[in-house]
Structure 1
Amino acid sequence: MLISNMEVVPGKKITTHLGLVQGSTVRAKHAGRDIMAGLKNIFGGELKGYTELLSESRDEALQRLSEQARTLGANAVINVRFSTSSIAAGASEIFVYGTAVIVEDR
């Protein structure tokens, strides 16, 4: 599955638009990560536990987007965008969306 944040896939021709596809995941913080984050707020530095959590969340949301696109018969998703939001105290959502298409070599 080709994934592009542009409206085109370089070197490919879009032959069919299949519509909007999306993927999301909601993750909660881990108590141990919260304690370490509190210490980092005092001393400064990267919150590596949260960085890993966000990376895993993005990967899972992209996987779900790809599965939905594949179900429609797509071989690419264009104009992909990410969004985040707070769902509840300590939990947030990563949402990814784009347009499922079929592309061919030029």
Structure 2
Amino acid sequence: MSEADLAVDSGQSLLDLGDSRRAHQFITEGQALLPDSRAKTRGVFLAYEAASYLQLKEPERAAHAAEEALALSRRIGAPRCERLLQGLVPDFQPYRAADGVPAFLALTAA
């Protein structure tokens, strides 16, 4: 397991436990450590980042990360990442008026 994977997995665990601030720090750190050659993993990490922003009630940042992850996953064919993002759609619903959220929701419906 690489340092990037360890950082993001730690962040995901913290996210599951509700510690979204620390989770986001680990996820961001993991993304910075990830080499460009691991694009599928980058998409998953971006989906985790979107989830952490949603827990922090920062829907604009969440939508940006989610849209980037969705575009990447569709470009490289990463169905796991797309499933993760589809799972976030209900969490975005309360923020339909926030910048970037309508565009992300439209992309997930396409």
Give the TM-score normalised by structure 1.
0.27
Structure with greater helix percent: 2
Structure possessing the higher relative contact order (Cα contacts under 8 Å, 6 or more residues apart): 1
Structure with greater strand percent: 1
Larger Rg: 1
